[in-house]
Amino acid sequence: MNIVVLSRNPGLYSTKRLLEAIEQRGHHGRVIDHLNCDIIMDDEGPSIFYEGESLEDVDAIIPRIGASVTFYGSAVVRQFEMMKVFSAVDSLAITRSRDKLRSLQILSRSGVGMPKTAFTNFSREENKILKHIGEAPVVIKLLEGTQGLGVVLAETNKAAKSVIEAFDSLKTRVILQEFIKEAGGADIRIFIVDGEVVGAMKRQGAEGEFRSNLHRGGNATVVKLSRSEKATALKAAKSMGLAIAGVDLLQSKRGPMVLEVNSSPGLEGIEAATGEDIASKIVEYIEKSLKKDRLPKDRIKA
């Protein structure tokens, strides 16, 4: 098979590992920068040109779309889908997961455990919106934030009001979320491939840091999941329509709570913590999907 990894940087750990797994399993792999793809639409049907070359004979793609280029990256993925090329991650699921507000609405509808979250257009009514969350501390998040950036912990209601006012003055939208103190600055990243948990790690934030992101100096260790944690993660990924996902959970007194569902989860931390060859599991998923002829007319979405 000819499998393309859509990635802007062939030197990234995740990109290199996927390429290695593709080659080791006897396929031909290629890395293509999705931002350098031209999407062509005419009466001959959809096509994609990359550096002047028409991309043909592609059997499958593995999207590694960065948050800052979601719009164009998902358009490229969608074009491949229109060309009946199998995508390991659905274009619609990518756009769902990258819209923080929309993804939280979907998770809420699915009934998975999650921290109480509020979003309002009436930012001058801080007292009213804070009542929906409860007493401080409260977490305030930018809708566009990634990797722990744009996340603030307000220790008091007064501090929360000040932060909300500051973001409002910049015409920046935020969501408010209850702070789960008992999580202790840690969360669990659960890696899912094709409806199965293939790895899980507990990420502990650096001392004095409430964010557990490895990019913020946290550390990761392998963790054994409870039945409810596994079920919650699988339900969250399914609700988002993601066959490949990184689900972030908090451990709380009320049970596991979903923070986020990531459509392009990194491989470095999870493979190092668990020792699992997750890159190969992704390629196995593609093999199985194409073997079952799930090329999908039903997955082609406008």
Instruction: Identify the band that residue 128 occupies on the pLDDT scale cut at 50, 70 and 90.
Output: confident
How many whole angstroms separate alpha carbon 212 and alpha carbon 234? 21
How many whole angstroms separate alpha carbon 204 and alpha carbon 268? 16
Which residue has tokens 């913590």? 273
Mean pLDDT confidence for 87-100: 94
Q: pLDDT per residue over 201-249, tens digit each?
A: 998 876 655 555 555 556 789 999 999 999 999 999 999 999 999 999 9
Measured at the alpha carbon of residue 242, what is the angle toward residues 237 and 246, in degrees to the nearest 5? 60
Q: pTM, whole model, 2 decimals?
A: 0.86
Which residue has tokens 């948050």? 67
Instruction: Identify the band that residue 127 occupies on the pLDDT scale cut at 50, 70 and 90.
Output: low
Mean pLDDT confidence for 7-19: 97
Residue 283: per-residue pLDDT: 98
Determine what percent of the chain falls in helix, strand and coil, rounding each to the nearest 5. 35, 25, 35
Mean pLDDT confidence for 177-186: 89
Domains annotated on the chain, with CATH: 2-96 (3.40.50.20), 117-179 (3.30.1490.20), 182-283 (3.30.470.20)
